[in-house]
Copies of this chain bind each other. A is one copy, B any other.
Amino acid sequence: MAIDHLDGRIIVLLAEEPRIGVLEMSRRLGVARGTVQARLDRLQSNGVIRGFGPQVDPAALGYPVTAFATLQIRQGQGADVRAYLTTVPEVLELLTTTGSGDMLCRLVARSNADLQRVIDRVVGFDGIVRASTAIVMENPVPLRVIPLVEQAARDREET
């Protein structure tokens, strides 16, 4: 759960050059291969590293438009809405937030015009009272974790 400095370096290295392999990592970090291997195993069983799945870019897939929809859910319909939205491929993420039955929904679409179709499909579901959508224009900071990892490693050291 607490991240070591070496753990941090391992994660950063892995983020920079994912195909690197344990052996090469041990060389670059100046530690024994077994150590890296053990650390990696620990990080994975700890759940710190969830996996190494491919990072797919929706834009390159033909879905360059991203939007966030804030949904207001009718009382007691939360589970239904969740189940429904799970079946919509264009729904990339769904979160419930503080506030009266609110959900936040990350969408993608093939175009601005297509976004209309997606939104209709999403908010057309009975159980959604109201929805407001914001289109994403730019993404100055794409989803990242490295700075957080480094911070966590630093915290650990400074103790």
Instruction: Tell me, rounded to whole Å, the shortest Cβ–Cβ distance linking A31 to chain B.
Output: 18
Please report the C-alpha to C-alpha distance between residue A11 and residue B135 in the assembled complex, in whole angstroms.
27
CB interface residues, A 120-159, toward B, < 8 Å: 134-145, 147-152
Contact A134 to B97, CB < 8 A, known contacts A47-B57, A54-B18, A148-B108: yes
Q: Are A96 and B138 in contact (CB under 8 A)?
A: yes
Instruction: Give the residue name and chain of the B residue nearest to A56 (CB).
Output: B145
Q: Which residues of B contact A145 (CB under 8 A)?
A: 56, 58, 92
Please report the C-alpha to C-alpha distance between residue A99 and residue B70 in the assembled complex, in whole angstroms.
14
Bitwise interface map of A from 95 to 108 toward B, beta carbon under 8 Å scored 1, else 0 = 11111001010101
Please report the C-alpha to C-alpha distance between residue A108 and residue B95 in the assembled complex, in whole angstroms.
14
Contact A95 to B136, CB < 8 A, known contacts A54-B52, A57-B48: yes
Q: Does A51 contact B (CB under 8 A)?
A: yes
Q: Is the interface of A mostly helix, strand, loop or mixed?
A: mixed
Copies of this chain, complex-wide, total 2
Q: Are A14 and B53 in contact (CB under 8 A)?
A: yes
Please report the C-alpha to C-alpha distance between residue A50 and residue B2 in the assembled complex, in whole angstroms.
29
Q: Which of B53, B97, B138 is within 8 Å of A55, CB to CB?
A: B53
Q: Which residues of B contact A102 (CB under 8 A)?
A: 134
Q: Are A150 and B89 in contact (CB under 8 A)?
A: yes
Q: Which residues of B contact A108 (CB under 8 A)?
A: 148
Show the binding face of A for B, using Cβ within 8 Å.
1-3, 11, 14-15, 18-19, 46-63, 66, 68, 82, 85-86, 88-99, 102, 104, 106, 108, 134-145, 147-152
